């Protein structure tokens, strides 16, 4: 049975599609594609139907990571479908928990910050690079690569 993971940020055009791309790249390198279903979504719907931010796609491509997702908004069905829902910042976590409660979810164990898997930072917030410079996208990718690697290791150890 496939492990289903959803990455969530605000608009689903920078951080969560980057996390999706990073994790997809990791599972491909480890020949684990058949063991996972990966997606991303936003808590807001402003960018639904759009590709990820071009600056994020370029920064990721320099690392050999393709970001091909199309923005969508999180839905009530996502709380039933996905085994793990990983948020990018505290506001995303609060909104996702609220949406989950409204969808009838009684246990919130499957919802947590992606940076809870990081060993390189105590912060639980991936900074939003949207209004910043190029370095912001690089910082986000650094955080996500390390966190996604640890996430994959954790899942593989748990079985």
Helix or strand (DSSP H, E) at 74? none
The first and second tokens of residue 5, run together, are 């993971």
Closest CA to 59 of 121, 2, 15: 15
d(CA 79, CA 70): 19
Strand ranges for 49-135 from DSSP E: 84-87, 111-113
The first and second tokens of residue 62, run together, are 């320099």
- What Å distances lie between residue 19 and 9, 36, 96, 143, CA to CA? 10, 14, 17, 9
Catalytic option among 57, 89, 128, 148: 128
Strands 36-42 vs 84-87: parallel, antiparallel or unpaired: unpaired
80 noted as active-site residue? no
Q: 3-class SS at 77?
A: coil
Residue 146's CB is within 10 A of a number of other CB atoms, namely 17
The first and second tokens of residue 148, run together, are 């996604």
Catalytic option among 14, 15, 53, 89: 15
9 noted as active-site residue? yes
83 noted as active-site residue? no
Catalytic option among 9, 14, 57, 72: 9
Catalytic residues: 9, 15, 128
């Amino acid at each position: 049975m496939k492990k289903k993971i959803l990455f969530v940020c605000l608009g689903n055009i920078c951080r969560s599609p980057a996390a999706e791309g990073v994790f997809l790249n990791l599972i491909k390198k480890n020949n684990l594609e058949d063991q996972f279903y990966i997606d991303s979504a936003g808590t807001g719907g402003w960018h639904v139907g759009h590709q990820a931010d071009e600056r994020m796609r370029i920064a990721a491509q320099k690392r050999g990571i393709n970001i091909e997702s199309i923005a969508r908004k999180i839905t009530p069905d996502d709380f039933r479908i996905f085994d793990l829902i990983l948020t990018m910042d505290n506001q995303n976590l609060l909104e996702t928990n609220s949406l989950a409660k409204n969808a009838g979810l009684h246990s919130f164990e499957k919802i947590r910050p992606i940076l809870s898997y990081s060993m390189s930072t105590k912060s639980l917030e991936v900074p939003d690079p949207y209004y910043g410079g190029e370095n912001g996208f690089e910082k986000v990718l650094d955080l996500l690569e390390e966190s996604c690697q640890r996430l994959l290791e954790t899942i593989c150890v748990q079985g």
